[in-house]
Amino acid sequence: MNNEIPGIKYLLNGAAVIVRGTLGNKKLVSQIYETDDGDVVSDDVSLVEKVYDEAPREKIDREVLMARNDLAALRVEASTLRGEILESQKGRKIIIEKLSQHEALKRIEDFLDGKITHFVKWQYGEGIINATDIKADSSCDRGFKLLTLFGRPGQGLTWQLNRYSDGSGGNEEVFPACSLEEAKEILQKKLYELKPGYWGAEAIALAKKYGLNLPDGYLEDYKKRKHNALKKNLLSKENETNGARAALEAFEKEQL
Q: Which residue has the higher pLDDT, 234 or 123?
A: 234
Mean pLDDT of 112-119: 87
| Predicted pLDDT of residue 189 | 92
The answer to whether residue 130 sits within a structural domain is yes
Query: Are 34 and 75 in the same domain?
Result: no
Q: What is the mean pLDDT of residues 197-219?
A: 87
> How far is the C-alpha of 203 from the C-alpha of 192, rounded, in Å?
10
Q: Are residues 71 and 139 in the same domain?
A: no
Domain that holds residue 186: 110-220
Give pLDDT, residue 79: 87
Model-level pTM? 0.51
- As for how many domains the chain has, the answer is 3
Specify the pLDDT at position 201: 85
**Shared-domain flag, residues 17 and 39:** yes
pLDDT band at 141 (very low <50, low <70, confident <90, very high): very low
User: What percent of the chain stands above pLDDT 90?
Assistant: 14
Tell me whether residue 231 is in a domain: no
- Segment 126-130 shows an average pLDDT of 86
Q: How far apart are CA 116 and CA 198, in angstroms?
A: 29
Q: Are residues 89 and 166 in the same domain?
A: no
Residue 89 CA to residue 83 CA, distance in Å, equals 10
CB 106 within 8 Å of CB 176: no
Residues 123 and 175: beta-carbon distance below 8 Å = no
36 and 116 co-located in one domain? no
Claim to verify: residue 94 and residue 24 sit in the same structural domain: no
Q: Does the pLDDT of residue 97 top 90, yes or no?
A: no
As a whole number, mean pLDDT of residues 48-57 equals 83
- 214 lies in the same domain as 164: yes
